[in-house]
Chain A
Amino acid sequence: MSSESYHEPVELIPEGTRNFHRALVSLREELEAVDWYQQRADACSDAELKAVILHNRNEEIEHAMMTLEWLRRNEATFDTNIKTYLNTTGSILEVEKVAAHAGGSAGDAASKNPSESSTSLGIGSLKGKR
């Protein structure tokens, strides 16, 4: 069965966008499941069942990250932003300011001025761009 959440006639949507849609829907479903399992675990009065539910929650997080990785590999803007924001420390908003000034790349986030020596042009992967 095809997805019912397309917003345009399916025959107008190329296969690449359909796969992108499938990944986004999958990611949303996994994250919803994490949310539900967390609430269920908090409300559960049986310790063993609670442990099982939390185990299941953790598996959903793993599934979500696998789907996110697919998105990163296949959509360049995900890749750029993941490189910019993930595994950083300090203020997330500050990371945005620094990345914007340095040209938007993760590798540039440490540089605060375009004349600083570690600045690359932030080209990186262009997969998914035309």
Chain B
Amino acid sequence: MDLLKRELAPITTEAWEQIDDEARRVLELHLAGRKLVDFSGPHGWGLGGVNTGRLTHIEKSPVENVGHAIRVVRPLVELRTPIVLPILELDFASRGANDLDLDPVIDAAERIARAEDSAIWHGFKDGHIKGIVEASPHQALSVSSTLDWPRALVQAKETLRMAGINGPYALAAGREAHDELVAAGDDGYPLSKRIEENIGVSPIIWAPSLKGGAVLMSTRGGDFELTVGQDLSIGYAASDRKEVELYLTETFTFRILEDKAAIFLRRGGDPGPQKK
């Protein structure tokens, strides 16, 4: 038995399969960062941190004439979110039901996907993770209207090119930005198709955890790295006569290796303070 303790749960094989399938389906829909960044792993529970190759020098060494420095590692963040399910409902799976009410699984999958993706886009300070939006040294570009997206994307692509970042380029679009991009333009043709075909930005990924606009980024590899220890898994926590409590968990960290490889496009408002 390992940390997940799944075999202790009063859940039949048939119910486990439906729980896992539902979680997998929702996660693959909601996880946007994994569709665009490099992936390292899964390395298992044993991985506690990622070597950065850096040193922090200690000013006051405890022993004279001996330099002291600390190796800098990026610790993995461990996520865990509960799933509470009625045992009676789960047992229907063994009687042939293939339509279990698994809303708590869906909710948990959405929550943990939001946690991972929020860290990728906007960072997670306590977890020592810097997000792509805040790390980008490029001045965010303002998108003034729905029809302004193509112009802004051409400008954003040019910004990346001028910074020496080659393609291919992809777009992660927040909820509102994505809604605008898949809507039809003046000519009835969706903006997303025009952007993919004419501007050469592809794919356009629905990124519900990305707030305030969209991120244009290179997907050439080597710029952004998601390191996963234990990949997304469902474990067993506790149970009583009526309910079983499971949890969805993972360990991960996210590193930006080339911060110039992405630029934020802010929908509406001013572009914010100038970045140097």
Contacts and interface: CB of A to CB of B under 8 A. Distances in A.
B5, B202, B233: most-surrounded residue (chain A CB, <10 A): B233
B1 A123 contact: no
Given A103-B20, A113-B13, A115-B13, A122 B231 contact: yes
Contacts, number: 94
B272 to A, nearest CB: 30
B16 to A, nearest CB: 4
A103 B25 CA distance: 11
A127 B7 CA distance: 32
B16 A107 contact: no
Main SS class of interface, A:
loop
A117 B6 contact: yes
Given A115-B6, A115-B9, A120 B39 contact: no
A43 to B, nearest CB: 41
A118 B4 CA distance: 7
A126 interface: yes
A130 B20 CA distance: 21
A14 interface: yes
B53 to A, nearest CB: 22
Contacts of A129: 28, 35
B68 interface: no
Interface string A94-124: 0000000001010100000111111111111
Contacts of B5: 117
A90 interface: no
A16 interface: yes
Nearest to B24: A121
A127 B4 contact: no
Interface residues of A, number: 26
B201 to A, nearest CB: 10
Nearest to B9: A115
B27 A123 contact: yes
A85 to B, nearest CB: 17
A15 interface: yes
Interface in B212-249: 219, 221, 228, 230-234
Given A14-B202, A15-B200, A124-B34, 16 more contacts: A15-B202, A19-B168, A73-B38, A103-B20, A105-B231, A113-B13, A114-B6, A114-B17, A115-B9, A118-B2, A121-B231, A121-B233, A127-B37, A129-B35, A130-B35, A130-B205
